[in-house]
Amino acid sequence: MLPPTRILAAIDFSEPSRTALDFAARLAVQCAAELHVMHAEDPLLAAAARSRGLDLATESREALRAFIADTWPARAGNASVHVIDGDAVHSVLNLAHREDADLIVLGAHGMSGAGHLVFGSTAEGVLRRADLSVVVVPDAWRPAQPDRKDLGGTGPVVCGIDLTLPSIEAAAAGVALAERLGTQVELIHVIPRLGVLDRWRDDAERATRDEMARVQPELESMTRHLGTGGSRPITVMSGSVPQCLADAAHASPHAMLVMGRALRDGGYAPPGTNAYRALTLARVPVLMHVTRP
């Protein structure tokens, strides 16, 4: 659901996770949502602590409260604190379901700018297995208006859109988020360039132009009733899907990018190739949206 009513921020005490907490806290204020902050203890470390008579969970809970208190504006809110002994990915997903969260917020560390995610990272594991929406916040993200408690000044919300239902639902979520942020929404459809030999290039470009002309009115018809603002223009372009979306988001320093995810067998909603690539390219927060049944 967007705007969210319950937000879960996963923290590992790193500075990138502090950035994610900052974003999550501001979004919670913006949406009048509950904020839950969690840390997952490594099971081996927890077992070693218990063998020495140490209460690692209590120490971690105190450290987490201190971490929140040292993170503006999270300290100004009333976050629920959770420390869980277990695998990070499973702990995040289990707690999200237990608390009926609408949205998980994660830092992007563990992601490689070389065009892929580092396998085994919490961010990738959650993205692969989550059946609810996830926001990935890049390490370098900074709020548009640091002195405010919310996300004032954030925008526009850039939505990648195609003719699939998950994409249309993600665009609707992006429009709702933009309305809550008081900013503009940009709907972008990218037609991949055809890789052909030089002698076929003119034909390929003609086919691409024909497809652009065909799809634009169809997309406009499908998105006419998104949000409360009536008809919304759609930019149709040709090129690399992830690069075009990242470039559109980077045109504004405080933009957000929204992409859709489809539920698969077992209830998982792993991002596709274009979404993964966009995540590695984007220097703005990326919302990977999925509609839960």
Q: Which one is the CATH code of 6-289: 3.10.129.10, 3.40.50.12370, 3.20.20.140, 3.40.50.620?
A: 3.40.50.12370
Model confidence over 175-185: pLDDT tens digits? Answer: 999 999 999 99
pLDDT of residue 108: 85
pLDDT of residue 30: 95
- CA R_g for the chain: 20
| First-to-final CA distance of the chain | 11
CA distance 257 to 58: 37
pLDDT of residue 53: 67
Residue listed under structure tokens 């929204």: 258
Angle at 115 between CA 3 and CA 197, to 5 degrees: 115
Model confidence over 113-151: pLDDT tens digits? Answer: 444 344 347 888 899 899 999 999 999 999 999 999 999
pLDDT of residue 112: 45
DSSP string, 128-189: HH-SSEEEEE-TT---SSTTSSS-TT---EEEE--SSHHHHHHHHHHHHHHHHHT--EEEEE
Length of the chain: 293
pLDDT of residue 163: 87
Tokens of 241: 């899907």
The residues of the chain scoring below 50 in pLDDT are: 112-120
Asked if residue 88 lies in contact with residue 105, where contact means CB atoms within 8 angstroms, the answer is: no
pLDDT of residue 115: 41
pLDDT of residue 57: 77
Could you give the 3-state DSSP secondary structure of residue 205? helix
Residue boundaries of the structural domains of the chain: 6-289
Tokens of 195: 């890789």
Q: Tell whether pTM > 0.75.
A: yes
